[in-house]
Structure 1
Amino acid sequence: MAAGLLFLLCAAAVLFSSEAQDSYTELPGSYRQGVDLALEQLGSSHNVKLHFRFLRSVEKREHEGYMSAKLLYHHFYLKPTSCPKGTAISDSQRCSFRNDRPLMDCLVCYKTVEEQMEPSPPPYVHCIQKPRLTQDMRTKRLDYWNKLTYKTGSATTLALSSG
């Protein structure tokens, strides 16, 4: 009986792990670029000791700009794994999720042109452990997005009306 329960628990963990990886691969390429940027920044931080993997999207927004430009807003969770920091993304599928550490709550905002991330304006990346995210941080994240979309929209409107 106990062995059967343990088997079901392990099977559920594997299924949950594979679903998270599937959700990453199902993201459009432009959104995957933002997740990869957040993972890269976490990996370069000396405070972070574990490898993280994409868990799921919380919210996605797009703002159409001039020509083929888009502004993307992607709020998502990353989950720590059993692998040490520095594990290659291609090897991360073998890293199982850890349930004894909090999720990383991330937001990225950036501009793409023809599905490629642009360096200007610089991408905004904010990741923090979910329990530490404050209402003030949430407000600042949204303020950044609103300023970014307002600037882009007003510049496009001026460019179109001056011709």
Structure 2
Amino acid sequence: MNKMNAILKLLLLATVTLLVSAQEWNNYQSLPESYRTHIDKALRDANKKFGGLHHVAYEKLLSTPKITDYNLYVNVRLIVTTCKKEPNKGFAHRDDCITQKPKTPWIDCLVCKKENGGELIDCARQVDVRSGRDIRKHCAYRTHGGATVLSQKSGNSKQELGCLGCV
């Protein structure tokens, strides 16, 4: 019975993980505060570089953000909107302002932690990012995990060929 409960819990966890990772966060207000904090940094940068007289707004996440003590990786797509900038409203996303201005490119912004511990905020036209941006190579990717099924050794002193952990 305990094995069955463990299997059901594992299946439930896997299902929830898949649902969360498959969800597209197209609504800025539905994002967790931890995401919005970093998206706002991207909005500030993109508004300075690309907005001109128009406001730049959040459009969607391009990948699932990774925000931990060791990792920071938030990649978003922003748009130049039809709304004029209003200095008293700042650079934050405005729900009243989500229509893309014609003939303006999508903006790909990345907020990440660098190897030296600093933070990188890079916003560029999405087409330029696809053709390669060397600056983004400065992002640090760290994995801090425990043992996985493939790295565990069995308590058996007699190892069989083909078993997990038999190397």
TM-score for both structures, normalised by structure 2: 0.55
Contact 1:60 1:72 in 2 (8 A): no
Contact 1:63 1:149 in 2 (8 A): no
Q: How many residues align?
A: 116
Cα gap change, 1:48/1:91 in structure 2, threshold over 3 Å: closer, same or farther? closer
Give the CA deviation at 1:86.
4.1
Structure 1 runs of 4+ with >6 Å offset: none
> Where does residue 161 of structure 1 map in the other structure?
none
Larger RCO (alpha carbons 8 Å, 6+ apart) = 1
Cα gap change, 1:28/1:85 in structure 2, threshold over 3 Å: closer, same or farther? same
Higher strand share: 1
2:138 is the alignment partner of 1:144: yes
Counterpart selection for 1:28 from 29, 32, 37:
32
Alignment RMSD (CA, Å): 3.2
TM-score for both structures, normalised by structure 1: 0.57
Cα gap change, 1:57/1:22 in structure 2, threshold over 3 Å: closer, same or farther? closer
> Where does residue 98 of structure 1 map in the other structure?
100
Give the CA deviation at 1:131.
2.4
Counterpart selection for 1:109 from 112, 129, 134:
112
User: Which string of whole-angstrom CA distances, capped at 9 and with x for unpartnered residues, describes residues 109-136 of structure 1?
Assistant: 149xxxxxxxx83321111112232432
> Where does residue 4 of structure 1 map in the other structure?
none
> Where does residue 41 of structure 1 map in the other structure?
45
User: Which string of whole-angstrom CA distances, capped at 9 and with x for unpartnered residues, describes residues 56-97 of structure 1?
Assistant: 111124264xxxx24221111001111123452578222241
> Where does residue 73 of structure 2 map in the other structure?
73
Cα gap change, 1:27/1:133 in structure 2, threshold over 3 Å: closer, same or farther? same
Unaligned runs of 5+ in 2: 1-23, 145-167
Q: Percent identity?
A: 23
Contact 1:106 1:126 in 2 (8 A): yes
Distance 1:127 1:90 in 2: 15
Distance 1:108 1:48 in 2: 18
Larger Cα-atom Rg: 2
Cα gap change, 1:96/1:52 in structure 2, threshold over 3 Å: closer, same or farther? same
> Where does residue 122 of structure 1 map in the other structure?
118
Higher helix share: 1
Unaligned runs of 5+ in 1: 1-19, 112-119, 154-163
Distance 1:26 1:85 in 2: 24
Cα gap change, 1:97/1:72 in structure 2, threshold over 3 Å: closer, same or farther? same
Letter of the structure 2 residue corresponding to residue 144 of structure 1: H
Distance 2:86 2:138 in 1: 30
